[in-house]
Amino acid sequence: MKLLAPLALAFAATIPVVILFYLLLRKRTVRLVPSTLLWQKFLAETQASAPFQRLRKNWLLVLQLLLLTLGVLALARPYLAASQKLSDLRVLILDGSASMQSTDVAPSRFAEARAQALKWVDGLSGNDQMVVILAGGEAQVKQSATSDKAALRRALEACVASDTPTRLASALRMGEGLVRDLPTAEIHLFSDGAAPGLEEFENKALPLVYHRIGRSGDNLGIVGMDLRANPERPRQRSVYAAVANNGSNAQPALVELRLDDALVETRTVTIGAGETAPLLFELNQARDGVVTVRLTAPDALAVDNQASMISLLPRPLKTLLVTKGNRFLEKALAAAPNLELTVAGRVDDSAAGYDVVVVDDAPPSAWPKANLLAIHSYNTNWGSGWRRLEQPVIADWRTAHPLLRYVALDNVQVRESLAVPAPPWAVSLIDAPQASLAFAGEFGAQKIIWIGFDLLESNWPLRLSFPIFIANAVEWLNPANERSRLMVKAGDPFRTRTPGPVTNARIRYPNGSIKTLETAPNHTELVFADTSAQGLYRLTFGTNEVSFCVNLLDSQESRIAPRDELRYSKRAGVLASTAKSTNQELWRWLAALGLLVLLWEWWYYHRRSV
């Protein structure tokens, strides 16, 4: 046994003082009594007249000396040394993901992980050092390398779990950098093992000790949600939700659909073990609001029992068509739902009031700032290496892009086209062997579709694929589609465009707290990354306000069963560690024993006095 604070043994000098008090003669009070027959023993004790008396057997003295000895030993902090040599550096990583909020271990998995990490801090001795890292939405070093146990405890107590999916890769990358070139260093991970994306550590021989936290895997969770408008009924919404049962038995689930705080519909569904049940709700919406799908039954993980989305009623898409008289294009645009079309012969200052501008073979001197479909236009700075191609052959088109969904171009012929390599900010949509005939992308804060050939010098307007492409283009260019999906997953950044440069912005968190955000001058986009908590956020900039929801919606995180092995890949992993000896401090046990002695001394004194 060794001592962490040997100087505290100096308090043992108080033990002789206690004995001295028992040697001193007690001062007596003289009283007259009628008889001494019952007081013989008392008279015998008063015979000594010297300042000191002989030390007699006294149990109170024994108990008090024992209590004082235990107190001195507790202050000296004795400990039992570990049988193995301690590492020069230990990196403690706490998994702060959503699954660590599970309550199958009381009070929660994260609280248990923190308690186990604190035990390792208690076992720290000598010049050994520890680092504390919290792996939440992003890896955070809560305490750099130190031997100060108080600082390490404060860092661990300050750690809290977030509502984000597990992201251990960055934390392990930090740990790897700290233990590199230290042969005795170790990384201790306190987690339930639900950590995908660790393939980079497969062959790195990471000195990792995996402490598995958790017991049960029973959990119901919402793992998917989407909301779509009915194109024929603008005020009707279809709400899709996916509920997964990760337990070993079939479970009934009561699912609520709410608009703001109003209950719209309740549905009961039984989900088999390991299965996912898709649910579809129909919602008639009279106003903008927050649509929420909620599981009412409590289970081990609460954060995946609810998911929300902002649902905005559609407004007419104001579209300006600048053309010399392309009736095919005009009719295809007019057929798009909820579109307000204006036809003009040239672009002027009035184009600033439109959501989408379509320029057909009439390039302006200054391009509008709205989302743009440019057809047969060449005086732009979007690319370099312009050329003309006679009768180009359409060799390929990008069917995976939303603009070419359900679009086939194998029977389209073009007489002449402009051609240019797709710029870095765009992807090529239609390719000829020599260059790109069409591309699309985001240039600054503007969405742009460019088509190199005149539609009237091709047979494309006569093909079925043409109105389909125009419908896809209208949907892709519609800025309201960005506003209608005001939802991000926990831990992902939220982006929104602004009408102009923003000088001040504030964010209201789901718990009601407000924070002022830093803004970049001359930027027309706000990026907010602190989305580690589930709920409704309200972003205010200038006179504008944007609300958005943060949800978990992660099937891996809802699968809360603790893993016996932390997998790097199919071939490599780290098994959960068993009990490992560390320095064990004894002061708590000594303090508890001292309290028992104090209680015994109190009982014995009062028993003797009665």
Residue 145 near residue 89 (C-beta atoms within 8 A): yes
CA distances from 149 to 129, 131, 156, 280, 298 (A): 9, 11, 11, 54, 38
Q: Does the pLDDT at position 500 exceed 70?
A: yes
Give the tens place of pLDDT for each residue, 341-363. Answer: 999 887 765 567 788 999 998 87
Domain with residue 300: its CATH number is: 2.60.40.10
Q: Would you say residue 152 lies in a domain? A: yes
Q: Does the pLDDT at position 581 exceed 60?
A: no
Closest CA to 215 of 314, 106, 136, 327: 106
Q: C-alpha 561: how far from its chain's center? A: 19
Residues 331 and 421 in one domain: yes
What confidence tier does 568 reach under pLDDT thresholds 50, 70, 90? confident
Provide, rounded to the nearest whole percent, the portion of the chain with pLDDT above 90.
48
What confidence tier does 184 reach under pLDDT thresholds 50, 70, 90? confident
420 compared with 60, residue with greater pLDDT: 420
Residue 81 near residue 45 (C-beta atoms within 8 A): no
Residues ≥6 apart with Cβ < 8 Å to 477 = 355, 356, 371, 372, 373, 447, 449
Give the tens place of pLDDT for each residue, 280-305. Answer: 999 988 888 999 999 998 899 999 99
Closest CA to 563 of 245, 203, 215, 102: 215
What confidence tier does 170 reach under pLDDT thresholds 50, 70, 90? very high
Cα–Cα dist 507/590, whole Å: 51
Q: Would you say residue 323 lies in a domain? A: yes
Q: Which of 286, 313, 340 lies at the terminal end of a domain, its last residue?
A: 313
Residue length of the chain? 610
Q: Which of 272, 293, 313 lies at the terminal end of a domain, its last residue?
A: 313
**Does residue 439 sit in helix, strand or coil?**
strand
Give the tens place of pLDDT for each residue, 365-384. Answer: 778 888 999 998 876 677 67
List of E strands, 206-332: 208-212, 220-230, 233-245, 251-259, 262-271, 276-284, 289-295, 306-311, 317-322
Give the tens place of pLDDT for each residue, 441-473. Answer: 988 778 999 999 999 999 999 999 999 999 999
As given in the structure block, the two tokens for residue 345 are: 């012969």
User: What pLDDT was estimated at residue 40?
Assistant: 60
Residues 338 and 224 in one domain: no
Phi, psi of 300 (to 5 degrees): -70, -30
What confidence tier does 86 reach under pLDDT thresholds 50, 70, 90? low
Statement: the pTM of the whole predicted model exceeds 0.95 = no
Taken in order 369, 374, 380, 385, is the CA torsion positive or negative?
positive
User: What pLDDT was estimated at residue 48?
Assistant: 47
User: What pLDDT was estimated at residue 481?
Assistant: 67
Cα–Cα dist 476/484, whole Å: 13
Give the tens place of pLDDT for each residue, 13-28. Answer: 877 877 777 666 555 5
Cα–Cα dist 533/552, whole Å: 9
Residues 248 and 147 in one domain: no
Give the tens place of pLDDT for each residue, 47-71. Answer: 544 555 566 666 667 777 787 888 8
As given in the structure block, the two tokens for residue 118 are: 């604190």
68 compared with 327, residue with greater pLDDT: 327
Amino acid at 477: L
Q: Which of 481, 497, 516 lies at the terminal end of a domain, its last residue?
A: 481
Characterize the bridge pairing of strands 371-375 and 446-451. Answer: parallel
Residues ≥6 apart with Cβ < 8 Å to 469 = 403, 404, 407
Give the tens place of pLDDT for each residue, 234-263. Answer: 678 889 999 999 988 999 999 999 999 899
Give the tens place of pLDDT for each residue, 507-519. Answer: 999 999 999 988 8
Q: Does the pLDDT at position 126 exceed 60?
A: yes
Residues 380 and 498 in one domain: no
Domain extent for 150: 89-215+562-582
User: What pLDDT was estimated at residue 287?
Assistant: 85
Burial grade of 391 (CB within 10 A; 0-12, 13-18, 19 or more): exposed
Q: Would you say residue 556 lies in a domain? A: no
Domain with residue 364: its CATH number is: 3.40.50.880
Provide, rounded to the nearest whole percent, the portion of the chain with pLDDT above 70.
88
What confidence tier does 426 reach under pLDDT thresholds 50, 70, 90? very high
Amino acid at 338: N
User: What pLDDT was estimated at residue 54?
Assistant: 61
Residue 363 near residue 371 (C-beta atoms within 8 A): no
Cα–Cα dist 481/455, whole Å: 27
Q: Does the pLDDT at position 211 exceed 60?
A: yes
Q: Write out 201-228 in H/E/C secondary structure.
A: HCCCCCCEEEEECCCCCCCEEEEEEEEE
Terminal alpha carbon distance of the chain: 42
**Does residue 428 sit in helix, strand or coil?**
strand
**Does residue 461 sit in helix, strand or coil?**
helix
Residues 98 and 185 in one domain: yes
Residues 530 and 604 in one domain: no
Cα–Cα dist 225/219, whole Å: 18
Cα–Cα dist 73/4, whole Å: 11
Least confident of 308-312, 549-553, 592-596: 592-596
Residues 290 and 322 in one domain: no
Q: Would you say residue 61 lies in a domain? A: yes
User: What pLDDT was estimated at residue 348?
Assistant: 67
Q: Would you say residue 366 lies in a domain? A: yes
Q: Does the pLDDT at position 85 exceed 70?
A: no
Residue 230 near residue 244 (C-beta atoms within 8 A): no
Residue 496 near residue 526 (C-beta atoms within 8 A): yes
Residues 513 and 530 in one domain: yes
User: What pLDDT was estimated at residue 182?
Assistant: 87
Residue 74 near residue 46 (C-beta atoms within 8 A): no
User: What pLDDT was estimated at residue 331?
Assistant: 94
Phi, psi of 197 (to 5 degrees): 80, 35
Cα–Cα dist 333/327, whole Å: 10
Residues 254 and 206 in one domain: no
Q: Does the pLDDT at position 328 exceed 90?
A: yes
Residue 534 near residue 203 (C-beta atoms within 8 A): no
Give the tens place of pLDDT for each residue, 380-402. Answer: 677 677 788 999 999 999 999 99
Residues 330 and 431 in one domain: yes
Q: What is the mean pLDDT of residues 100-126?
A: 91
Least confident of 483-492, 548-557, 558-567: 483-492
Instruction: Give the total number of structural domains in the chain.
Output: 5
Q: Would you say residue 587 lies in a domain? A: no
The torsion region of residue 274 among left (phi > 0), alpha (psi -120 to 50) and beta comes to left
Residues ≥6 apart with Cβ < 8 Å to 603 = none
Residues 324 and 432 in one domain: yes
Domain with residue 121: its CATH number is: 3.40.50.410
Q: Would you say residue 588 lies in a domain? A: no
Residues 307 and 345 in one domain: no
Give the tens place of pLDDT for each residue, 536-553. Answer: 999 998 888 899 999 999
Q: Would you say residue 84 lies in a domain? A: no
Mean model confidence pLDDT for the chain: 85
